[in-house]
């Protein structure tokens, strides 16, 4: 069965919101490390690169782009996805991750993945992307105008660390007046962004329930409105 392949690049440890989103939606999921054997493209329904994937998975990303298999690059993985779709981006590492206040662009407001982003909210990033030339559609930017979410062809790149666990986010926001509340907000927005990419960009098969969860769907009855989107 073709499934989601999530590659944990160098410096990435443990599952994040994306893995939990996929499991909650009942999607077939394989998690690999940068040095693992590279699967055949026929086994890949969508490829996600978290961090620097190494040359083997970078080559798989190129094959996915050519076959129009959905690609998502998070953090340093965004640069590999940009290379794969033929529109390289430059990026400057920011360690530890820094806060960025996002602005949703006109294109982003019309996009099913970028549109629901809370404008003006603070997120975390560990990669400051350069100008997104070469046919990129920029959906959201930081305060300095640097892209933080963009799409081109089969590729989606996001420099926001939407893939961190809530404990990781809270530790990075330790100086916030309310770190636990801020961490829950950032973590929830990240999970929602990833969920929209899974449902709207990759889509659902006929076998998957319309609301994207495991098990039987809710039964319509008087007074209940079902909204599977």
pLDDT, tens digit (0-9, with 9 covering 90-100), for 172-197: 888 888 888 888 888 888 889 999 99
Give me the pLDDT at residue 210, please.
56
- Mean pLDDT estimate for the chain: 86
Domain limits, the chain: 3-202
pTM (global) more than 0.75: yes
Higher per-residue confidence, 204 vs 108: 108
CB 127 within 8 A of CB 76: yes
pLDDT digits (tens, 9 = 90+) for 72-120: 999 889 999 999 999 999 998 888 788 888 999 999 999 999 999 988 8
Task: Give CA separation, 139 vs 86, 148, 210, 213, in Å.
Answer: 19, 8, 26, 27
Task: Tell me yes or no: is domain 3-202 CATH 3.40.50.880.
Answer: yes
Give me the pLDDT at residue 1, please.
55
Given a cut of 60, whether residue 225 has pLDDT beyond it is no
CB 188 within 8 A of CB 164: no
């Amino acid at each position: 069965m073709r499934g989601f392949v999530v590659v944990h690049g160098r410096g990435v440890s443990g599952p994040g919101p994306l893995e939990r989103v996929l499991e909650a939606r009942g999607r077939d999921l394989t998690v690999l490390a940068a040095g693992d054997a590279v699967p055949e493209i026929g086994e890949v329904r969508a490829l996600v690169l978290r961090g620097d994937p190494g040359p083997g998975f970078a080559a798989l990303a190129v094959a996915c782009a050519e076959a129009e298999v959905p690609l998502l690059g998070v953090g340093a993985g965004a640069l590999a996805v940009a290379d794969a779709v033929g529109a390289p981006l430059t990026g400057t590492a920011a360690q530890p991750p820094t806060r960025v206040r996002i602005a949703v662009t006109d294109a982003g407001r019309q996009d099913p993945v970028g549109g629901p982003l809370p404008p003006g909210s603070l997120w975390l990033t560990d990669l400051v992307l350069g100008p997104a030339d070469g046919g990129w559609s920029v959906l959201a930017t930081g305060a300095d105008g640097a892209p933080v979410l963009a799409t081109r062809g089969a590729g989606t790149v996001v420099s926001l660390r939407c893939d961190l666990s809530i404990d990781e986010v809270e530790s990075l926001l330790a100086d916030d007046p309310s770190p636990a509340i801020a961490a829950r907000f950032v973590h929830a927005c990240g999970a929602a962004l990833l969920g929209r990419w899974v449902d709207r960009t990759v889509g659902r098969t006929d076998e998957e329930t319309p609301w994207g969860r495991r098990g039987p769907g809710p039964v319509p009855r008087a007074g209940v409105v079902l909204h599977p989107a």
